Structure 1
Amino acid sequence: MNQTDGATGETSDLKRAGLSVAVAVLTVSDSRTIETDTSGATIVDRLTQAGHRVADRKLCPDEYETIRETIAAWVADPAVDFVIVTGGTGVTQRDVTPEAVRSLFSKPIPGFGELFRWLSYREIQTSTIQSRADAGVCGDTIVFLLPGSTGACRLGMEQIILPQIDIDHRPCNLTELLPRVKHEQPPVHGRG
C-alpha cells in the first residue's frame, strides 16, 4: 500500500495506477461447500476481474465465535486490506454475522448498509428490510457484510464495493483512505 501526503491527504505514487488490494472472502453458511458457494464465487470472480487479489477464502457455519475468530484473524493480518463476508445477515435465529462482526468494529460505516438497501429496493422491493448488510473499520481493515444470495453479492460488489476499493474512483474511495485508517485506528475490541 502506498502512503499519503500528510498535507493534502492525496495518495502519492499509485494514484491512477490501478492499485490492487488484498481481500479475504468469508461465506457464512450451514449448508454450502466451496463447490456450491455461488455467492462467494461471485465475489471472488468480481474481485479478480477487477485486478484485485484474493488473500484467502473460507466457509464457516452460522456460529458467532467461529465467524468472529475468522474475521479477527484476517484483521490481525497486515497483508489483508479488506474483508467481504456473505451470509448470515438475515433475521432468523441462525443469522448472527452482524452481531459477531460488529463486536470487532472500531468504527461503523452505516452508509454501506443504507446504500445497499436503497439499491436493493429497486430489485426486491420491501423485502430489502430483511437485510442487515453492514460495514465497518476493524483495526486496520475494512469489513463488508453482504447477504448470502448471489444477486445481493453481485449488487453489492458492482454498485458499492468495487467502486470503493478502486483507487481511481472519484470523488473519493476507501482504498486511498487505507494508509490513514491503518495509522489512526485503535486496536480491535478484545485484542488489546
Structure 2
Amino acid sequence: MTTSTERPFVPLNIAVLTVSDSRTEENDVSGKTLADRIGGAGHRVADKRIVPDDIYKIRAILSAWIADESIQVAITTGGTGVTGRDGTPEAVRPLLDKVLDGFGELFRMISYEEIKTSSLQSRAIAGVANGTYVFCLPGSSGACRTGWDRLISAQLDYRTRPCNLVELMPRLLEGKPGGA
C-alpha cells in the first residue's frame, strides 16, 4: 500500500472510548495514545470518554456516536480479552451492520509478531454501523499503537492506494432506509 500525494488528505471526526473499570483521565494511557495519534495524523478527536466494562453503558455511548452524523469513526480500547468483565465485542457486534472480519484477523497476525501466542487472547473486531466505522482494540497502549500505526491509520487516509475506507464512506448507506 502506498500513500499518494495526488489526492488531498481528508480529515475525519474520530471518537475514542476507553472501556475500563479502573482508568481515569489521569491514567488512561491507551486513550491518550489513540487521541495523540489521531491528532498527529491530521484528524480531529470528536469526543473522548471512559466507560466501565458494562455492555449497556458501552452500547449507549457508541449508539449515540453512531447516530451522530458528524462522527465518522469510533475507536474503543479495552474489554476485548477473555475475562468475565471483558464485554466490548458483545456490546459492539449487535450494533454493526457489517463486520470487517479482516481487521481482527490482521490485528492478531500483526500482534503475533510482537507478543507471540498471547495474541490469541485478543478479540479485536471492526465493522460499519449506520455509516460509521467502529474499531475495537485491546486495552494496552502497545495494542493501540499497533492497531493505529499498522492498520487503522492507512485505511483512514484517503491518499492510501490501492484503496481505503475513506473512499467508501459516500456509499456506506446505499440501499438503507434514509440512505443514498
2:162 is matched with 171
- Percent of counterpart pairs with the same letter? 55
Matched residue type, 1:41: K
CA contact (8 A) 1:131 1:147 kept: yes
Shift of the 91–185 alpha-carbon distance from structure 1 to 2, 3 Å rule, reads: farther
Shift of 1:119: 0.2
Q: Does 1:78 align with 2:78?
A: no
2:3 is matched with none
Aligned length: 173
In 1, Cα distance between equivalents of 2:24 and 2:169: 32
2:171 is matched with 180
In 1, Cα distance between equivalents of 2:177 and 2:20: 31
1:64 is matched with 55
Structure 1 length as normaliser, TM-score? Answer: 0.88
Q: Secondary structure, in 3 states, of the residue corresponding to 2:133?
A: strand
2:117 is matched with 126
Q: Does 1:114 align with 2:105?
A: yes
> 5 Å matches for 1:151-170?
151-170=142-161
In 2, Cα distance between equivalents of 1:35 and 1:186: 42
Q: Does 1:148 align with 2:139?
A: yes
In 2, Cα distance between equivalents of 1:126 and 1:185: 40
Shift of the 175–184 alpha-carbon distance from structure 1 to 2, 3 Å rule, reads: farther
What's the CA shift string for 1:84-136, capped at 9, x where partnerless? 00000000000000000001011100000000000000010000000000001
In 2, Cα distance between equivalents of 1:100 and 1:59: 15
What's the Cα RMSD here? 1.2
Shift of the 186–155 alpha-carbon distance from structure 1 to 2, 3 Å rule, reads: farther
Matched residue type, 2:146: L
In 2, Cα distance between equivalents of 1:171 and 1:185: 27
2:41 is matched with 50
Shift of 1:171: 0.7
In 2, Cα distance between equivalents of 1:82 and 1:49: 16
CA contact (8 A) 1:106 1:186 kept: no
In structure 2, runs of 5+ residues without a counterpart are 1-5
In structure 1, runs of 5+ residues without a counterpart are 1-14, 188-192
Q: Does 1:135 align with 2:126?
A: yes
